[in-house]
Amino acid sequence: MFRGSIVALITPMHPDGRLAEDSLRRLVDFHVERGTAGIVSVGTTGESATLDADEHCEVIRLTVEFAAGRVPVIAGTGANDTREAIHLTRCAKAAGATAALLVTPYYNKPTQEGLYLHHKAVAEAVDIPQILYNVPGRTACDMLPETVARLARIPSIVGIKEATGDLTRVARLRDLCGPSFVLFSGDDATGCEFLLRGGQGVISVTANVAPHQMQALCEAALAGDRATAEQINARLDGLHRALFVQSNPIPVKWAMAELGLAPRGIRLPLTWLTPDHEPAVRDAMAQAGVL
C-alpha cells in the first residue's frame, strides 16, 4: 500500500488566498495519470499551518473524493496541540483517508516522553493507520530512533517520514522497528540513497513538478537498480535543491503555476517567489525535463 513516490501535494489557491477546488481536482488527476503512488493531502507543503480546521478537513475530503480510490490518500493531521491532532485525524478517518501523517509537535519542543505520549494518545483515539513525521529543521524537535521504536509497537503506527537527511538513520530505524515498519524519506535531495539503503518510499516535494520521473526513480531504487536510480536522480538533483531556494512551498507553488497547473496563490506569512530566484527554478525544471 505504501511504496514509491508519494507526492506532498500543494494546496492550490487563488491569488486572494481562497482554495482553488477545480485546480485541486486537476492536480489529483495529473498525479494519477503520471503514476504517482500516493498523495499526501495538507502536509507542510499543503500549507497546513495557515488552513483553519474546517478548510483542513475540507481539503482532505475533496482530495479523497477526487482520488476516488485510484491512489491512497494520506492526510496530514499533525498539530502541536494533541487535542487538535486528534480532531484532524478524526476528520481524516471520516473522509475516508487511507492513513494519517502526523508531524512532531512544533515550537513547543516536547521531550521524547512527550512525543511518545502525544502520538500514543492520537493512536488510541483514532483507529486509522498513522505515519510519524520527523522534520526537526522546521519543528525544532527531533524524534529520536529509540522513541520511534517505542511507538512502532503500537499497531496503528505503521511508519515514519524521516526528513533529517541523516542517512545513517535508515539502518538504525530498520534495526529498531523491524521489517514491516515503513520508512519514507522526507528529503528529496537524499531520497534516492535512502531507498537504496532500505527505505520504501519518498514523500516528495519534487514529485509535484516531476511526478513521472520521481516514480521512475523510486521504482528503480526499490528494484535495487542503483545505476538507473542514480541516473534519474542526477537529472532531478537541481530541482530537488531549487525547490528549497526559499521556504517550502514558495518555489514549488511558483513552479506549478509556471506549468499552468495551479493559480498564483499562497497565504501569508509566506509570499510569492521573488524574481531573483525564478531563473534557478526555471533552469532546474528544464534540466529535469518538465519544461
Query: How far apart (Å, rounded) are the C-alpha atoms in residues 35 and 190?
Result: 21
pLDDT value for 288: 97
Tens of pLDDT along 111-169? Answer: 999 999 999 999 999 999 999 999 999 999 999 999 999 999 999 999 999 999 999 99
For residue 133, the cross-strand partners are: 103, 161
pLDDT value for 1: 66
Q: How far is Cα of residue 12 from the mean position of the Cα atoms in its chain?
A: 15
pLDDT value for 2: 87
Query: How does 46-63 read in b/e, with b if 16+ C-beta sit within 10 Å?
Result: bbbebbeeebbbbbbbbb
pTM over 0.85: yes
- Provide CATH code, domain 4-223: 3.20.20.70
| CA distances, 284 to each of 9, 239, 251, 255 (Å) | 19, 5, 11, 10
Strand, helix or coil at 80? coil
Strand, helix or coil at 127? coil
Q: What is the mean pLDDT of residues 246-275?
A: 98
Q: Which three cell numbers stand for residue 244?
A: 528549497
Indicate the pLDDT class of residue 38, thresholds 50, 70 and 90. very high
Indicate the pLDDT class of residue 103, thresholds 50, 70 and 90. very high
Domain ranges across the chain: 4-223
Tens of pLDDT along 211-228? Answer: 999 999 999 999 999 999
HSE at residue 13, side-chain half, CA atoms within 13 A, is 26
- Residue ranges in the chain assigned as alpha helix (H): 21-33, 53-67, 82-95, 112-125, 136-139, 145-152, 168-177, 188-196, 206-209, 211-222, 226-242, 250-258, 278-288
Whether residue 277 is predicted with pLDDT greater than 80 in this model: the reply is yes
| CA distances, 247 to each of 236, 266, 276 (Å) | 19, 12, 15
Q: What is the rounded radius of gyration, in angstroms, for the C-alpha atoms of the chain?
A: 18
Tens of pLDDT along 231-250? Answer: 999 999 999 999 999 999 99
Residue 45 counted as an annotated binding residue: yes
Q: Which three cell numbers stand for residue 137?
A: 529543521
Phi-psi region of 234 (alpha: psi -120 to 50; beta: other; left: phi over 0): alpha
Mean pLDDT of the chain: 97
Name the packing angle between helices 278-288 and 226-242 (round to 10°).
Answer: 160
Residue 203 counted as an annotated binding residue: yes
pLDDT value for 142: 97
Q: Supply the residues annotated as catalytic.
A: 133, 161
